[in-house]
Amino acid sequence: MTGRYDVIVLGAGAAGMMCAIRAGQRGRSVLVLDHAAAPGEKIRISGGGRCNFTNIHAGPKNFLSTNPHFAKSALARFTPQDFIAMVGRHGIAWHEKTLGQLFCDDSAKDIIRMLTDEMRAAGAQLRLRTEISGIEQRAGGYRVSTSEGAFEASSLVVATGGKSIPKMGATGFAYRIAEQFGLPVVETRPGLVPLTLDPQLLQRLSPLSGIAAPAEIRHGKTAFREALLFTHRGLSGPAILQISSYWREGEDITVVIEPDIDIFALLKKAKQVNGRQSAQTALAEILPKRLAQHVVESEGISGNMADLSDKRLQQLAATIQAWSVKPSGSEGYRTAEVTLGGIDTACLDSKTMQAKSIPGLFFIGECVDVTGWLGGYNFQWAWASGHVAGEAA
């Protein structure tokens, strides 16, 4: 089997499908190739099955990249409102959960159905279970050799995602294509990922496994206020996933539990009001019981509040609100929601996502060195970068 198209898109994920829709709408003949058995598998499992499909506050500040300005153009040309309008046209009900994060009321599958319906309406063809064995640049475009034969096109759009969750078919294929064409790749690492702790600390914290609390997690000048979760491997929860994208091996993070409460002031007041109360009882008013117990025991505190000096209370508060901890690592690509780094934006045109030195070759979505925060930003980048490439390919 061979075939000639205007545009071949490699990868039927969020970015690839959006690109195919826009290119098809422009009258381009489009073929989308994917080795998976179904399109949009990451969309299907995203947001706990309800897909956090965008964030109404998405802007360049919510993305990590060697060039923080690179994402501006695409994000301005396809906005959260544009995606919300598409969702609305398909009658998909949604709600804002928190912090501008929009989720489907029903199922992430509604988003996949919307995208595949739009692709069909735009005349884009989708071929699944297709292994890609080679790419060649030829006069007039590109030849893609696959398990289903060879296909040619004048434009080739690489939308094969990053390395996160290899079990779901993530391959890092885009980086190999970049290498083949001599394009630089910014070092990749797992992002939005739980952090692990060394075995000794983990053992000490084992009674806390499963406990969640509001927290602020700080790393240098970056801080996120969301939930913290103690796990049997280390630390997780949205606040940890967010900071994990900024954290590097060997560095400390600071954990502030219940950042809206001045725990020292609260303990001092509790001592004045009821000196016969234990510190654990006082802390259990604001912290989960097990956490209150653990903190008091690990500080070696016993007796009544009246027996504790202000200095001691301050130390106790600091263990809860100024806990400096050095994670031993992260859970890696196995559980990371995204891959940081990727195709160097310096070699791409920010308006089209086309490689500056290689006409007709485009990179979009997660494989590019643009990574969003947790909260719908990564899909917004996939939609936006896919859309602008679809306008140009």
Task: Report the residue number, 13 or 360, with the smaller CB distance to ligand FDA.
Answer: 13
Question: b/e string for 353-389 if b means 16 or more Cβ within 10 A?
Answer: bbbeebebbbbbbbbbbbbbbbbbbbbbbbbbbbbbb
Task: Report the residue number, 35 or 294, with the smaller CB distance to ligand FDA.
Answer: 35
Q: Cβ of residue 65: shortest distance to ligand FDA, in angstroms? A: 14
Q: Which residues bind ligand FDA (CB under 6 A)?
A: 10-16, 34-36, 41-42, 45-47, 51-52, 132, 159-161, 164-165, 169, 171, 173, 337-338, 365-366, 376-379, 382
Whether the CA torsion 72, 76, 80, 84 is positive or negative: it is: negative
Rounded to 5°, angle at Cα 119 from 105 and 12: 80
Task: Report the residue number, 26 or 97, with the smaller CB distance to ligand FDA.
Answer: 97
d(Cα 187, Cα 72) in Å, to the nearest integer?
22
Residue 328, φ and ψ in degrees, nearest 5:
-85, -20
Q: Cβ of residue 108: shortest distance to ligand FDA, in angstroms? A: 8
Q: Cβ of residue 377: shortest distance to ligand FDA, in angstroms? A: 6
Helix (H) or strand (E) holding 239: helix 238-244
Whether the CA torsion 181, 186, 189, 191 is positive or negative: it is: negative
d(Cα 362, Cα 344) in Å, to the nearest integer?
12
Q: Cβ of residue 36: shortest distance to ligand FDA, in angstroms? A: 4
Task: Report the residue number, 36 or 84, with the smaller CB distance to ligand FDA.
Answer: 36
Q: Cβ of residue 88: shortest distance to ligand FDA, in angstroms? A: 19
Q: 247, 331 in Cβ contact below 8 A?
A: no
d(Cα 207, Cα 297) in Å, to the nearest integer?
12
Which token pair is 209? 């496994």
Q: Cβ of residue 191: shortest distance to ligand FDA, in angstroms? A: 10
For residue 149, the one-letter residue type is G
Task: Report the residue number, 94 or 271, with the smaller CB distance to ligand FDA.
Answer: 94
Task: Name all contacts of 302-305 with Cβ < 8 Å and 24+ positions apart.
Answer: 302/278, 303/278, 304/275, 304/276, 304/277, 304/278, 305/267, 305/270, 305/271, 305/274, 305/275, 305/276, 305/277, 305/278, 305/279
Task: Point out the residue whose Cβ comes nearest to ligand FDA.
Answer: 13
d(Cα 8, Cα 29) in Å, to the nearest integer?
9
Task: Report the residue number, 171 or 254, with the smaller CB distance to ligand FDA.
Answer: 171
Task: Report the residue number, 192 or 213, with the smaller CB distance to ligand FDA.
Answer: 192
Which token pair is 136? 């060649």
Q: Residue 75, SS3?
A: helix
Q: Cβ of residue 213: shortest distance to ligand FDA, in angstroms? A: 23
Q: Cβ of residue 72: shortest distance to ligand FDA, in angstroms? A: 18
Task: Report the residue number, 42 or 271, with the smaller CB distance to ligand FDA.
Answer: 42
Q: Cβ of residue 42: shortest distance to ligand FDA, in angstroms? A: 4
Of 89, 78, 45, the C-alpha closest to 364 is 78
Q: Cβ of residue 45: shortest distance to ligand FDA, in angstroms? A: 5
Q: Measured between alpha carbons, how far is residue 147 from residues 12, 143, 151, 177 in Å? A: 17, 13, 11, 18
Task: Report the residue number, 20 or 263, with the smaller CB distance to ligand FDA.
Answer: 20
Task: Report the residue number, 133 or 298, with the smaller CB distance to ligand FDA.
Answer: 133
